[in-house]
Amino acid sequence: MDNERELRRAGWRLMGAFLKPQRSWVSAGIVFGVLWTGAKVAVPLLAAAAIDVGILPNDQSAIIWYSVAIVLVGALQALGTAGRRYAAFRISYRVETDLRERLFAHLQRLHFAFHDEAQTGQLMARANTDIQQINQVVILLPLFAASLLIVLVVVIIMLMQSVVLAVLALGALPFLNIAATRFSHRVTPVSLRLQEELGDFSGVVEESVAGIRVVKGFGAERLQERRLDAEAHSIFTEAMIAARMRANFMPLVDFLPALALVAILWYGGHLVLDGDLAIGDLVAFNFFILMLVWPLRMAGMLVAQAARASASAGRIHEILATDPAVIDPVHSKSLPETGVGEVGFSKVHFAYGSGPTVLDNLDLVIRGGEAVALVGATGSGKTTVARLVSRFYDVSTGVVSIDGVDVREMRVRDVRRAVGIVFEDTFLFTDSIAENIAFADPEATIEQVRKAARLAGADEFVMALPDGYDTVIGEQGFSLSGGQRQRIAIARAVLANPRVLILDDATSAVDPSKEHEIRAALKEVMTGRTTLIIAHRAATIALADRVVLLDGGRVVAEGTHDELLRTSLEYRTVLARAEAETPVVNSSPEGLSS
């Protein structure tokens, strides 16, 4: 609870910090708001005076003068509205935009371990829903300041006219504020539940569409329909609860001001009859009441909205307060110019967070220009080794070095430049193929791009695409097969021309019948370049000069592929399990004999 309050406070501070650069607009908004308020209050006063001074005593020139005055004041009011609105929206969009950029930039810098924990969907929600919640409050701030002023001025004017009448007329209105606040508080959890139900509902739709082959294959349409039916009905239930709340609240917005108008008509009317109040003032009172409806309603909404916004800002603050763990050292060393890309692991211990030990006193040297294949069962630490070379994580103890320099002593950027990695799950951006391949160096010429693609065995199929290298791919673009995506990813790494190349299961999705094409190209890429290959297929492993067998986070055997096949039972077992093809059809001996 305390923690939450602390977070909310931090959230307010964050909002304040982002509002600060907007202070001239904030002041402008308030000035225009005051102008608007003054004009808006003046109109009914002028109208009342026109009735009492002009119409009742039958003074035509007074009537005309007052009418002209009302028009002039109306022009000021319009100017006030324009300025107030523009300032308010500008501020809120500016805050939203700045906050989102800051969040994005920060997320880009945060270490892998953070992203391992966080879900993309959650982070997206921070950058969208949460920032919008903040936007909603910021947008209301100038208007709210101006509205408060209106309430204040109107209440004072009414009190000056007649205390009893003011109390009678205004008595009902605070209930509007109370009702609005209560409504917001009560409806919020229901809307959240409704959102959840809508999420569950779309979950069923999404998995049914994504898994349509399974649904159709087993004729399970009915089953999914029943589940959807249940979800649709839960939405209905929640939506009706919210509707009943609205039904209880919304009509009050008309009713409570009407009560005030009745009070004015009745009590004020009797005051007029007794000669204690002018008719014009009575009309003005009516007008004032209508003027108060919106500010009071808004105040209720603002309170509830502010609570949501501060919670949202608190959540964003939490992310911004997380410092990147992998950062540049104060005094950085640079890689030796003439380095050959020797990679060294010396007594490396590593665990993910507080998890179990993954690498256990690992010693490993990959000489410059050498190609080493890392082999091991799932969980043996292969991928971790690859990720430590790029310094995506820092070791617990021990040293990882490139050309003799501890990766922690170099600038992160230099490490990443020196090491090119192809991940197991290829991620391509919604961009043209050329831009994807030239990701490391957007300045690269098309010749360089094509050369990299050729080396990765991608040039041929890319050229066959309708727009060639300009074909837009990625999540929103043209969809490529898994193997094609991997080849683009390899080309991307090749183009960076790194000292050390890491292929983390980078050909796993390539159709086996096509893999030999890439293998030839890979051989060329690897020539003279330190390469770390993580693979299951023997044919890929055979590309390496040396094979290192990992088990339980340490090296248990090394040698050439053939040596290990001969000498290591463990190696044979691992390979047999990983490499032996999945025999989907297990045929009986009879089946083979014919």
Partner 1 sequence: MMWGMGADLSDPDLSDYRARGVMRRLAKMLRPWRWQTIGAIALLVAQTGCLLAGPALVGYGIDAGLRADDAASLNLAAVLFLGVSLIGLVLGRATIRVVSSIGEQFLCHLRIRVFKHLMSLGLDFFERERTGRLVSRLTSDIDALQELVQMGLVMFVQNALLFVGALIIIFILSWQMALCVLVLVPPVVIATRWFRRASQEAYLEVRERIGANLTTLQEGLAGVRVVQAFGRERSFTRRFRETNEAQFDANLKTVVISTRYFPFVEFCGVIGVAMVIGIGGIFVDSGLIEIGVVAAFVLYLNNLFEPVQQLGQLYNTLQAAAAALHKLFSLLDTPASIASRSDAIDLPKSGTLCVENVSFGYGEGADVLHDVSIEISPGERIALVGPTGAGKSTLAKLLVRFYDPREGVVSFGGVDLRDTTVASLRERIVVVPQEAHLFAGTIRENIRVGKPEATDEEIEGSLDALGIRERLSALGAGHGPSGLDLEVRERGSRLSAGERQLVSLARAALADPPVLVLDEATSNLDPGTESEVERALEVLTKNRTVIVVAHRLSTAERADRVAVVDDGRIVELGTHSDLAAASGRYASLWLRWTFDHSSAAPAS
* Angle at CA of residue 156, ends 151 and 161, nearest 5°: 130
Among 2, 337, 447, 475, binds partner 1 (CB under 8 A): 475
- The first and second tokens of residue 424, run together, are 């197991």
CA gyration radius, the chain: 36
Q: Does 242 bind partner 1 (CB under 8 A)?
A: yes
Query: Given the complex with partner 1, which of 8 and 503 has the nearer CB atom?
Result: 503
Query: How far, in Å, CA of 518 to CA of 524, rounded?
Result: 10
Query: How far, in Å, CA of 283 to CA of 105, rounded?
Result: 57
Among 2, 24, 160, 219, binds partner 1 (CB under 8 A): 219
Q: Does 338 bind partner 1 (CB under 8 A)?
A: no
Transcribe 351-415 into DSSP letters: ESTTS-EEEEEEEEEE-TT-EEEEE--TTSSHHHHHHHHTTSS--SEEEEEETTEEGGGB-HHHH
Q: Does 320 bind partner 1 (CB under 8 A)?
A: no
Nearest approach in angstroms of CB 347 to partner 1 is 25
CA nearest to 189, candidates 74, 57, 304? 304
Among 156, 163, 214, 463, binds partner 1 (CB under 8 A): 214
Query: How far, in Å, CA of 490 to CA of 522, rounded?
Result: 9
Nearest approach in angstroms of CB 80 to partner 1 is 8
Residues 252-291 as x/- pattern, contact with partner 1 by CB under 8 A: x-xx--xx-xx--xx--xx-xx-----x--xx--xx--x-
Strand partners, 13: none
Considering only the C-alpha atoms of the chain, give the largest distance between any 2 of them, rounded to a whole number of Å: 121
CA 425 to centroid of chain Cα atoms = 21
Among 4, 6, 23, 124, binds partner 1 (CB under 8 A): 124
Query: Given the complex with partner 1, which of 5 and 243 has the nearer CB atom?
Result: 243
Q: Does 86 bind partner 1 (CB under 8 A)?
A: yes
Query: How far, in Å, CA of 39 to CA of 23, rounded?
Result: 24
Instruction: Restricting to residues 437-466, name those near partner 1 by CB under 8 A.
Output: 439-440, 442
Among 31, 79, 113, 320, binds partner 1 (CB under 8 A): 79
Nearest approach in angstroms of CB 7 to partner 1 is 22
* Angle at CA of residue 115, ends 489 and 136, nearest 5°: 115
Nearest approach in angstroms of CB 212 to partner 1 is 5
Nearest approach in angstroms of CB 524 to partner 1 is 19
Nearest approach in angstroms of CB 124 to partner 1 is 6
Among 9, 13, 94, 546, binds partner 1 (CB under 8 A): 94
Query: Residue 307 to residues 7, 97, 128, 299, 455: CA-CA distances in angstroms?
Result: 12, 21, 17, 13, 57
Among 392, 400, 403, 499, binds partner 1 (CB under 8 A): 392
Q: Does 175 bind partner 1 (CB under 8 A)?
A: no
Among 159, 192, 240, 365, binds partner 1 (CB under 8 A): 240
Query: Given the complex with partner 1, which of 199 and 336 has the nearer CB atom?
Result: 199
* Segment contacting partner 1 by CB under 8 A, of 141-149, 225-233, 360-368, 395-403: 225-233
Give rounded-to-5 percent helix, strand, coil for the chain.
65, 10, 20
* DSSP-derived secondary structure letter, 126: I
Give the contacts of 447 (CB within 8 A, at least 6 positions apart). Answer: none
Query: Given the complex with partner 1, which of 8 and 291 has the nearer CB atom?
Result: 291
Query: Residue 64 to residues 5, 61, 75, 99: CA-CA distances in angstroms?
Result: 58, 5, 17, 52
Instruction: Restricting to residues 19-78, name those near partner 1 by CB under 8 A.
Output: 43, 47, 50-51, 54-56, 58, 60, 63-64, 66-68, 70-71, 73-75, 77-78
Query: How far, in Å, CA of 379 to CA of 574, rounded?
Result: 12
Query: Given the complex with partner 1, which of 8 and 473 has the nearer CB atom?
Result: 473
Instruction: Restricting to residues 535-574, name those near partner 1 by CB under 8 A.
Output: 536-539, 542, 561-562, 565, 572, 574
Among 9, 13, 90, 182, binds partner 1 (CB under 8 A): 90
Query: Given the complex with partner 1, which of 56 and 192 has the nearer CB atom?
Result: 56
Query: Given the complex with partner 1, which of 204 and 556 has the nearer CB atom?
Result: 204
- The first and second tokens of residue 408, run together, are 């922690």
Nearest approach in angstroms of CB 542 to partner 1 is 5
Nearest approach in angstroms of CB 476 to partner 1 is 6
**Size of residue set near partner 1 by CB under 8 A:** 168
Q: Does 127 bind partner 1 (CB under 8 A)?
A: yes
Among 81, 136, 147, 383, binds partner 1 (CB under 8 A): 81
Transcribe 258-327 into DSSP letters: HHHHHHIIIIIHHHHHTTSS-HHHHHHHHHHHHHHHHHHHHHHHHHHHHHHHHHHHHHHHHHHTSPPSS-
Three-class DSSP category at 591: helix
Query: How far, in Å, CA of 532 to CA of 375, rounded?
Result: 11
Nearest approach in angstroms of CB 514 to partner 1 is 7
Q: Does 327 bind partner 1 (CB under 8 A)?
A: no
Q: Does 325 bind partner 1 (CB under 8 A)?
A: no
Query: Given the complex with partner 1, which of 8 and 297 has the nearer CB atom?
Result: 297
Count CB neighbours of 216 within 10 A.
10
Nearest approach in angstroms of CB 222 to partner 1 is 7
Strand 431-432 relative to strand 500-504, pairing: unpaired
Instruction: Restricting to residues 393-422, name those near partner 1 by CB under 8 A.
Output: 412-413, 416-417, 419-421
Please say whether the beta carbons of 402 and 343 come within 8 A.
yes
Q: Does 85 bind partner 1 (CB under 8 A)?
A: yes
Q: Does 208 bind partner 1 (CB under 8 A)?
A: yes
Q: Does 587 bind partner 1 (CB under 8 A)?
A: yes
Three-class DSSP category at 477: coil
Nearest approach in angstroms of CB 75 to partner 1 is 6
Instruction: Restricting to residues 130-159, name those near partner 1 by CB under 8 A.
Output: none
